[in-house]
Amino acid sequence: MNNNLHKSPFNLAVIVAGLGFFVDAFDLFLFNIYRVPSLKEMGFSGTQLSHQGEFLLAIQMAGMMVGGILTGIIGDKKGRKTVLFGSILLYSLSNIANAFVDDTTCYAIIRFLAGVGLAGELGAGITIVSESMTIKNRGYGTILVATLGALGAVTAGLIGNIIPWRIAFFIAGCMGLLLLLLRMKISEPIMFQEQQQLANQKRFI
């Protein structure tokens, strides 16, 4: 067993991954809460409101599906940190842009990009937790990450319909950018570094 692996879930990698899941869940529930009010403000009503809402939700889910696949491939080739930085930056900027949308075309593009970023951040975060902790204790790390994610959903539910939707999305984007500063302190997991070293050695054999 590698002695550099963490045994306690209360380490920087787990805490930051958990905060990332907090922001992920916060954004996903925020979109569900504000989807209808935001479309109403844009002038939609009746069946048109339902169709546009379902379309935006489907677009976001498609973005998450694409994001999960792409970031998995990129993460194995370029590293977990690269995926994390890119994903957090993408969904943070998308949420900030979401605060200024005035038509459903822009809305759909932004929710697709946000979905890509959200899926990538969560996948890379869980991977870093798994690769930075011992096999015996990594379950505690994932539990802590899941708990913080649930707290993000609860927080979104509590502020929903209290804060104007544009301000809420702007806050979500700023939260992501603040998280990015914490992510910069994380190094690549030991397991990934060892795999990369082994792969580089094989190239020269």
| Domain membership of residue 155 as a residue range | 12-203
Q: What are phi and psi of 133, to 5 degrees?
A: -120, 160
Please tell me the predicted confidence (pLDDT) of residue 1. 47
Q: Does residue 33 sit in helix, strand or coil?
A: helix
Query: Could you report the per-residue pLDDT of 187-205, keeping only the tens digit for each?
Result: 555 555 555 555 555 555 5
Residue 3 covered by a domain:
no
Please tell me the predicted confidence (pLDDT) of residue 170. 93
Residue 107 covered by a domain:
yes
Residue 184 covered by a domain:
yes
Q: What are phi and psi of 6, to 5 degrees?
A: -75, 145
Residue 4 covered by a domain:
no
Query: Could you report the per-residue pLDDT of 50-109, keeping only the tens digit for each?
Result: 999 999 999 999 999 998 888 778 777 776 667 777 888 888 899 999 999 999 999 999
Q: What is the CATH number of the domain that holds 166?
A: 1.20.1250.20
Distance of CA 39 to the CA centre of its chain: 24
Residue 101 covered by a domain:
yes
Residue 7 covered by a domain:
no
Q: Residues of the chain with pLDDT > 90: what percent?
A: 27
The C-alpha atoms of residue 8 and residue 83 are separated, in whole angstroms, by 24
What predicted TM-score, i.e. pTM, was given to this entire model? 0.79
Residue 22 covered by a domain:
yes
Domain count, the chain: 1
